[in-house]
Amino acid sequence: MRDMERLKNKSVLITGASAGIGAATARLMAGAGARVVLNARRADRLEALANETGASVVAGDITDPAVRARLVAAAGESVDFLINNAGYGEPGPVETVSEEDARRQFEVNFFAAAEMMRAVLPGMRARRAGHIVNISSVAGRFGYPLFGWYCATKHALEGLSDALRVEVAPWNVKVVLIEPGPVRTEFFDVTIKKAAPHMEDADSPYAPFFQNVEAIEKDFMKQATTPENVAKVVLKACSKKNPSGRYAVTGMARTAIAASRLLPRAWLDAGIRRQFKIPGKDEVR
């Protein structure tokens, strides 16, 4: 309870707050008495959430430097908590995802988050206080087939966050990674839409990889949690004076991360091949 008191009247910036984990986090933060500023591209969604929670809104694409500047300015004198959450999954084989799509994925999931961190750090250092919470993924620990570019963005976010945590510790700034497994949000709808051109390309050497997409998604969804459960972990990290550096969310994420410490790489690869129903040598041309 005393921990929660720490959020009262504190300023919180949340990117990607029009849906899923970001919207759930905004509700919890506002409920804990924080002054919340919401960002995402869909202004109508943000306005509805603002009416419900009393939050402020800065709508726009987080890759736009002007939007980021407005977002930081909207927090007033100080940003106490930055929640870098905006993101999506660009699916497809590493070989065939276009360079443009791969780079765009990095712009949203990695560079925009990095620039938000750099924008709030001077203020946090000056006040010798602040939490930066980066929504990574279990995909920041593993390389999943058909999600190589997405995994790369989350690995990059993890590497930068780990370095930054140590760099800014002398100023009492906390850097936290949240690593959820599957979460029931719009993330999978967005991903399936983006996967369509790959799935429809019957001439692709990777066509057999897509034959079991529905079954794979179903297996994932069985292990999925709610965005509210992830938001609770974000709130917990923000309410702690000394949060952990990483929080895995869902049993699947905790088990996978523990297994990655114990098992040889070849065993992990074999497990992932099974999980993603990767075709055998005689099934590809």
Ligand X SMILES: NC(=O)c1ccc[n+]([C@@H]2O[C@H](COP(=O)([O-])OP(=O)(O)OC[C@H]3O[C@@H](n4cnc5c(N)ncnc54)[C@H](OP(=O)(O)O)[C@@H]3O)[C@@H](O)[C@H]2O)c1
Annotated catalytic residue within 10, 56, 137, 154: 154
Name which of 88 and 276 has its Cβ closer to ligand X. 88
Which tokens hold the place of 134? 């980066």
Q: Does 86 bind ligand X (CB under 6 A)?
A: yes
Task: Pick one of 8, 42, 128, 273: the residue that binds ligand X (CB under 6 A).
Answer: 42
Catalytic residue status for 136: yes
Q: Does 22 bind ligand X (CB under 6 A)?
A: yes
Task: Pick one of 13, 50, 83, 135: the residue that binds ligand X (CB under 6 A).
Answer: 135
Least distance in angstroms from the C-beta of 187 to ligand X: 3
Whole-number Å distance between alpha carbons of 74 and 56? 8
Catalytic residue status for 150: yes
Is residue 132 within 8 Å of residue 84, measured between CB atoms?
yes
Annotated catalytic residue within 11, 136, 161, 204: 136
Name which of 19 and 121 has its Cβ closer to ligand X. 19
Least distance in angstroms from the C-beta of 179 to ligand X: 7
Task: Pick one of 16, 91, 123, 148: the residue that binds ligand X (CB under 6 A).
Answer: 16
The catalytic residues are 18, 136, 150, 154
Binding site for ligand X (CB under 6 A): 15-22, 39-42, 45, 61-63, 85-88, 108, 135, 137, 180, 182-183, 185-187, 190, 227
